[in-house]
Amino acid sequence: MEHVPCDTHMRERLDPVIPESLRPSFTSVFRQLQRGKALEEMVFLEGHYLVALDGTGYFSSPTIHCASCLQKVHRNGSITYYHQMLGAAIIHPDVREVIPLMPEPIKFISIKPSVATESGGPGSCAGHSRVPSPDHGHPASTGGSGPSRYGSA
């Protein structure tokens, strides 16, 4: 690649992509890694995998928003709309390579009119990106770099 595409070009190419349409690709690669026994060297402790988690924001605006946006209401009453996602990868201290798992959007979910939560925390990620076969152990989370809002995994 001789030239790195500008932000506008990247947005024009990626905005139409439905993130969920990428899941089959992640699943296919993961299954190939399982069949090829590449996951065996990633087992970390007592049959468990070590999964590094980190959340990141990728959109924020005081005016532009959609039905999927999270909202932060400021003290002055203004609202910032934003999107975040949780990234995860299977890691091992002795292995240089990592195995990225499908990123999960962090979504706002209202359970009762007076109670709301954010979904997409470690439990949500594990729900979609978990190791499909019990023969390959269970994930153990390293957490993110900041304080957790989700409690322990």
Query: Hey, what amino acid is at 28?
Result: S
Residue 93 lies in a domain: yes
Give yes or no for residue 148 having a pLDDT over 50. no
Is residue 133 scored above 50 in pLDDT?
no
Within-domain flag for 89: yes
Please give the pLDDT value at position 73: 95
| Residue 82 belongs to some domain of the structure | yes
Q: Which pTM was predicted? A: 0.66
With respect to residue 151, please indicate whether it lies within any of the assigned structural domains.
Answer: no
Domain limits for position 20: 7-143
- 141 and 90 in contact (C-beta within 8 Å)? no
138 within domain boundaries: yes
Q: pLDDT confidence of 107, banded at 50, 70, 90?
A: confident
Does pLDDT of 140 surpass 70?
A: no
Q: Which residues contact 92 (CB under 8 A, 6 or more apart)?
A: 41, 42, 43, 44, 50
- Look at 67 and 114; give whichever has higher pLDDT: 67
**Poorest-confidence range of 4-8, 96-100, 125-129, 138-142?**
125-129
- In the predicted model, what is the mean pLDDT of residues 120-135? 47
